[in-house]
Chains A and B, each alone.
Chain A
Amino acid sequence: MGPVVRVEHLTKDYGAVLALDALTLDVGEGTTGLVGANGAGKSTLLKILLGLIPATGGRAEVLGHDVATEGAAVRAAVGYLPEHDCLPPDVSASDFVVHMAMMSGLPRVAARERAAEVLRHVGLAEERYRPMGGYSTGMKQKAKLAQALVHDPRLVLLDEPTNGLDPAAREEMLGLVRRIGHDFGIAVVVTSHLLGELERVSDNVVVLDGGRLLRASRTDEFLDATGALLVEVLGDDAHARMAAALTNAGVAVADRGSVLSVGATAEGLDVRDLVRDTASDLGLGLVRLQTDHRRIEDVFADEPEDAPVDRPAATSPAGGPPVAAPEPGPGGAAPTADASRRPGRHRRLEGAPGD
């Protein structure tokens, strides 16, 4: 089976702006995150992939159909969740999703069945019978996702699906995106301006910058373990005392604001024991001890030259000890991954580089 999306030397020149500059890219099955600043060409790329706007040069294929000549075939097999509002307020989600299914060519009876099923999948229960004007942003996003899935597309293009959601709704939406890619067997292209989200849900990450491909690779390649441990302790002047004690014991320590980054130079287990014993000796509460991973943000910090692979990987990503939250390998159990990554996200919010 060929790639889901194949883009060759795709160029889109708006005259004043060069939105896409000879972009060449293959997107496979699974979930692909599309990253880029505003104006990097994400939306333009999605519109060209839907066959809505013509490219100035190059060609693009979606599911084996040329978007320039077989736009209708592409749109029949693709689901699209736009970034902006797109729901009529005086129609119920149930009626609307049925209608949208029929607009994709499903017969009425099948459309009703599929709509009910998809609305259940996205988690819209009784409220599906109410007009959508009264929905919260989270419910609206779910309804938008339902209409993108109702005709059982082979690929969904999700443009900023978590935009404007509160943390709980964001978690739920990310869980859904993950499930679409992994459990539903539908290829997903998802854009987001929050890199932390993409690193959690996508198998591959594509970085666009100024209409050009900055980087495309597997998410886990972005996120190689740095070989350091993150340590968080509670107590009076906890971090300074902890850092001093660990330095005395001959371990490299860097204070990173709310956490200490401890170099796990020798055997990883020894350092972990050392951290635990030191905290115990000093009478400090050990809040967190986890392997430090690279974040997608670091790729931007490193770009263009520094390759991430040459970092030392002292601890295997899959084999962490029980104290540390184990990081799953690619395709690992989703709930564990979510639970273990969450503290990392908080840390990132507080001390993201260049933020």
Chain B
Amino acid sequence: MTDPSTPTPEGRSVIHDLGYRPYTGTRMPPATIARALVVTGFRNAFGLGRSGRSKILPFVLLALNLLPAVIVGGVAAFASLDELPIGYAEYASTTQVLLGIFVASQAPVLFSRDLRHGTIALYLARPLRSGAYALARWASLLAATLVFLVLPIVILYAVALLIELDVSDQTREAAKALGLAVLLALSLAGIAGLIASWSTRRGFAVVATIALLVIANGVVTVIQGISSESSGSTRVGEVAGLFSPYSLYRGLIGAWAGADTPTPPSSTGMELAYVAVFVGLSAACLVALVARYRREATS
């Protein structure tokens, strides 16, 4: 170990011999820069390109999330079942706790970290605009969340093909699940990203996001449970479902993928309302994120 505060003589001489060479190569347009930021952010969300310790949590969560799919697939293959024991879309609802922890814990990696350590100043001093930066960060989180949601579907679909279930049926169901996964990922990335961008403390962002997701879902579940017990008031449960991403997802898989969920939206209008809230929530979070970073840039 050399003392870093003293100049190394060999370093000095090397510098002197080489001299400074200017860069004359190409410089990429902002779109390419944004893509590079998305890719780096996506890798960082899984701890790649960061310290070894930061890889543990995302990969443990991912493994836990995939484990049921692998087991279910194995059982289905051995027992030669004539349908998958769990629906593609239902899967995410079953493992929603893991999903919530993943999104809540990795959103701060993409959002709080730059604010906490002041790195945001370096990004803002570069060609990318603050809005583009916010979008790129959000896209990284969305991509990471999608990986988390889509991988089990892929595994289950592969199993379904291996045990020779009806291909067109399975493809249709898997495609539906993919569409729903995108809706869920959009809203989760929006909410978690927004919370993380308001908090420079990682722990606070994690707790706040999980609390919001769990509490909102818990309240909605209780209301839906009560309203499904008492006949004639299922409407209340349907409306309550609009107030949490997980219950929105549950409602839509109940309506579209035939999953057994309490008080799914019963009319087309209500289904549209569910989709509208899903998309609107995501868009609102995104707009707030962009506004947040625009303010950060000019403060």
CB distance from B198 to the nearest CB of A (A): 19
Chain B proximity of A75: nearest CB distance (Å): 5
Q: Mark B25-49, 1 if CB is under 8 A from A, else 0.
A: 1111110110011001000000001
C-alpha gap A99/B114 in the complex (Å): 13
A 104-122 to B, binary, CB cutoff 8 A, 1 in contact else 0: 1111101000100100110
Please tell me if B125 contacts chain A, counting CB pairs below 8 Å: yes
Q: How far is the CB of B4 from chain A (nearest CB, A)?
A: 5
Q: Do residues B126 and A100 form an inter-chain contact, with CB atoms below 8 A?
A: yes
A99 contacts across to B, CB distance below 8 A: 40
Instruction: Please give the distance in Å from B172's CB to the nearest CB on chain A.
Output: 40
CB-based contact B113/A78 at 8 Å: no
Q: Are A52 and B118 in contact (CB under 8 A)?
A: no
Decide if A91 is an interface residue (CB 8 Å cutoff).
yes
CB pair B54–A52 under 8 Å, yes or no, is: no
Closest approach, in angstroms, between the C-beta of A259 and any C-beta of chain B?
A: 29
Say which residue of B28, B29, B113, B298 sits within 8 Å of A88 (CB atoms). Answer: B113
Give the B interface residue count (CB, 8 A): 47
- A127 to B5 CA separation, bound complex (whole angstroms): 13
Contacting pair B122 A82 (CB below 8 A)? yes
Instruction: Tell me the bound Cα distance from A99 to B41 in angstroms.
Output: 11
Chain B contacts of A185 at CB under 8 A? 20, 22
Taken together as a complex, chains A and B put the C-alpha atoms of A79 and B11 apart, in Å, by: 23
- The interface residues of chain B lying within 8 Å CB-to-CB of A82 are 118, 121-122, 125
Q: A99-B40, A103-B126 are in contact. Are A121 and B22 (CB under 8 A)?
A: no
User: B1-24: contact bitstring with A at CB < 8 Å (1 yes, 0 no)?
Assistant: 000111110011011001111110
Q: Which of the residues B117, B126, B298 comes within 8 Å of A85, measured between beta carbons? A: B117
Please report whether the interface of chain B is mostly helix, strand, loop or mixed according to DSSP: loop
In this complex, the interface size class of chain A, counting residues with CB under 8 Å from chain B, is 35 or more
Measured CA separation A184–B129 after assembly (Å): 28
Which chain A residue lies CB-closest to B21? A117
- Judged by a CB distance under 8 angstroms, whether A68 is at the interface is no
B50 (CB) vs chain A CBs: closest residue: A90
CB of A112, distance to nearest CB on chain B (Å): 12
Choose from A90, A106, A125, A152 the contact partner of B22 (Cβ within 8 Å). A152
Nearest CB of chain A from residue B223's CB, rounded to whole Å:
42
**Nearest CB to that of A101 among chain B residues?**
B23
Q: How far is the CB of A334 from chain B (nearest CB, A)?
A: 11
Closest beta carbon of chain B to A119's beta carbon, Å: 10
Q: Which 8 A-B pairs have the closest CB atoms?
A: A152-B23, A80-B125, A105-B27, A86-B118, A184-B20, A105-B28, A90-B51, A169-B5
Q: List 17 other contacts, CB 8 Å, given A72-B128, A87-B117, A136-B5.
A: A52-B297, A72-B127, A75-B126, A82-B121, A84-B118, A84-B121, A86-B118, A88-B113, A100-B122, A105-B27, A110-B26, A136-B4, A138-B5, A152-B22, A169-B5, A183-B19, A184-B20
